[in-house]
Amino acid sequence: MAKVKALVLRTAGTNCDWETEYALKKAGAEAQRLHIQRLLERTVGGNNPANLFRDYHILVLPGGFTYGDDIAAGRILANILRFHLREALEHFLGEGKLMMGICNGFQTLVKGGLLPALYQNGAGPARDSGLPEVTLTFNDSNRFEARWIHLRACSSKSVYVEEGESLYLPVAHAEGKFVPRDDSTLQRLRDSSQIVFRYVDEGGDGAGYPHNPSGSVEDIAGICDPTGRILGMMPHPERYVEPYQHPNWSRNGLNKEPDGLRLFLNAVRYVKKNLL
């Protein structure tokens, strides 16, 4: 039987690549970590960029502080993707494959123009219009926020999660405040069901700080592209893939399918159903 193959792309400052690789393997994928410099080396000598991601079905940009978050979180890695790997990524995504950006990876996808990739004038997704539709900026608290938070899945489009699901995951970021360019951009995100996750309180209702740790507009914690196959999220699903990782497991018992693992399982199931 064909294997679901996943690539975890890392670089200087990435620090969640091992956990992400583990999560993908636990979900049933054959996962590999690769430094972006090794990938860039393959573009030298006239190699066809379309072949760079040919062997993979899922591409994940994990969390961390790529290049020290100099300039802005995820900005340098985003520029590398945009100016050196854009053709390869377009080919990869054009084949109907999956991409996920977690925390710093989400920041990279946004600043690299891969999210939100809103449809424009009905002509299809504009993955890089040159003008940022949204950004992720400094938390309202002006400090690094690290805690477990509640999420509600809001999208009927994402392949990673079912609408209405509740999740409990950790966050760890200083630049996680989601801000759309204007009200019309926010409305288009709503209308196209691209808002995947919102921060909520214990009862599932929208709430302010600390439930929304960054001050994100409309409590937005994650979005997808118009196809539902590219996901960006600030919380860390790879940090809750084992029952013992839940902070209250000894009080509440063990969850046989940890909330974070569900996203990776759904990604693997999607590939098996649609790409193999």
Q: What is the pLDDT of residues 96-139, one digit of tens each?
A: 999 999 999 999 999 999 999 875 544 455 555 567 899 999 99
The torsion of the CA quartet 119, 121, 124, 125, rounded to 10 degrees, works out to -30
Higher-pLDDT residue of 60, 256: 60
Catalytic residue among 16, 103, 154, 224: 103
Specify the DSSP class assigned to residue 51. Answer: G
* The predicted structure's pLDDT at residue 48: 75
Per-residue pLDDT at 126? 52
Quick one: pLDDT at residue 118? Answer: 72
Residues 8 and 17 sit within 8 Å (Cβ to Cβ): yes
What pLDDT sits at residue 21?
98
What's the rounded Cα separation, in Å, for the pair 146 and 255? 22
Most confidently predicted of 65-74, 82-91, 266-275: 266-275
The pLDDT assigned to 44 comes to: 72
**CATH level 3 topology of 5-274:** Rossmann fold (3.40.50)
Write out the two tokens for 76: 């340098």
> Is 236 a known active-site residue?
yes
Q: What is the mean pLDDT of residues 184-190?
A: 95
CA distance 31 to 174: 28
246 is known as an active-site residue? no
Share of the chain above pLDDT 70, in %: 94
What the block records as the tokens of 108 is: 């990279």
Q: What is the pLDDT of residue 122?
A: 46
Distance set, CA 251 to CA 94, 167, 204 (Å): 46, 18, 21
Instruction: Report the run of H or E that residue 168 belongs to, with start and end.
Output: strand 166-173
Active site residue 84: no
Structure tokens at 230: 């590219």
Catalytically annotated residue among 19, 21, 145, 238: 238
Task: Pull the structure tokens for residue 250.
Answer: 């000894």
- The mean pLDDT of the chain is 93
Q: Shortest CA distance to 111 belongs to which of 157, 77, 151, 145?
A: 77
The whole-number pLDDT of residue 2 equals 85
Asked, as a colleague might, if the bond just before 210 is cis with ω within 30 of 0, I would say yes
- Rounded distance between C-alpha atoms, residue 7 and residue 57, angstroms: 8
Q: Is the pLDDT of residue 225 over 60?
A: yes
Q: For residue 43, what pLDDT is reported? A: 77
- Element housing 265 (H / E): helix 259-274
The whole-model pTM stands at 0.94
b/e map 87-119, b = 16+ CB within 10 Å: ebbebbbeeebbbbbbbbbbbbbbbbbbbbbbb
Report the candidate in 270, 91, 74 with the shortest Cα–Cα distance to residue 175. Answer: 74
Each residue of 143-158: pLDDT tens digit? Answer: 999 999 999 999 999 9
CA distance 121 to 129: 13
Q: Which of 57, 150, 173, 236 is catalytic?
A: 236
What is the mean pLDDT of the segment spanning 66-89? 93
Q: How far is CA 170 from the centre of its chain?
A: 14
